Structure 1
Amino acid sequence: MRGGGDRPPAAPAWDLVTVPSRQGLEAVDILRLRTGVGPVLHDVSGDTLGFLVPEGTAAGWDLPGSACAQTHGRVRRSTGEPPVAGTRWLVPPGQGNPVNDPILLRLALGEAARTIEAADGIQAADGR
């Protein structure tokens, strides 16, 4: 096969938005219920979730409590293996959107943060 036709096709290039696991899990639920979620990584230690977003998102990402790393044109291959060492797929590619929409992700992360803040406030008021 000419041109490496036996390799899986390239998936879209991406950047990675990283957030604390609790906020990320809330955001995944919000996105699943509303618009659909793209690929999400969960680090092995369980501390963070990483949302794959379109390449170039990092240049304008400024949401407090999160970080967005550039991939410098790195392309994810559709092999099923997570593209970042020490992670596993929470939402694998092919089970939703090809990447997460950064605007919808920002809204979901904001809503998730408010939900967590409200829940923590209720627990504090109850003396838990």
Structure 2
Amino acid sequence: MTAFQTKAAVDWLLSAAPDAAACRRQWERGPHGMVLLPAGALWDVLILPGGLGHPTLDVLSRCAGRPGPVLAGSGGERLGFFVPPGTASRWLGTGVRAVGRGTWIVVPHPGRAAGVVRWLVRPDGSGTLNDPGLLELAMHEAVVGEGRRGGE
């Protein structure tokens, strides 16, 4: 990621913050390079268990080229796919946690290595998000693919 892309990603993420300057300071000075940002305004997040999330990301990457932002947390045990606002209120998928308006998520700086939470797909600064319909199809394909591999 170039310095320009990192700046664009930082600016885009901070546009969701109630106090962008305070978040920027926390990112720059905090020992962990993480901030809390509100979901529901610029994005919602669908959190998948790692066993489903990783193969879903593989399928999504093959179908969509470069997917929208994706976070990994807890050693890859959970993946968070950034989707358009409002998705969380309509999502019905079993085993998927939908995070939207009224909730906050931990977000690492897009230009630095992070610890517990890290970017698998960094935001590009343009506001590109994962399409929920395509994400759902990728989840189905990931489950079917896992079933095929399990039966081999």
Q: Please state whether the residue corresponding to 1:13 is helix, strand or coil.
A: coil
TM-score (norm: length of structure 2): 0.62
Give the structure with the higher percent helix: 2
- Partner AA of 1:19 in structure 2: L
TM-score (norm: length of structure 1): 0.72
Residue 45 of structure 1 corresponds to which residue in structure 2? Answer: 75
Residues 38 and 95 of structure 1 are in contact (CA less than 8 Å); yes or no, is this contact kept in structure 2?
A: no
How far 1:95 moved relative to its partner?
Answer: 8.4
Residues 11 and 125 of structure 2 are in contact (CA less than 8 Å); yes or no, is this contact kept in structure 1?
A: no
Residue 102 of structure 2 corresponds to which residue in structure 1? Answer: 72
What do the CA deviations read for 1:90-126 (whole angstroms, capped 9, x no partner)? Answer: 110018971100000001011101111222233xxxx
Q: Which runs of 5+ in 1 are unaligned?
A: 1-6, 123-128
Give the structure with the higher percent strand: 1
Larger radius of gyration: 1
Q: How does 1:1-128 map to 2 (within 5 A)?
A: 8-9=11-12, 10=15, 13-36=42-65, 37-72=67-102, 80=110, 86-94=116-124, 98-122=128-152
Q: CA RMSD in A?
A: 3.2
How far 1:71 moved relative to its partner?
Answer: 3.7
Which deviates more, 110-119 or 88-97?
A: 88-97
Aligned residues: 114
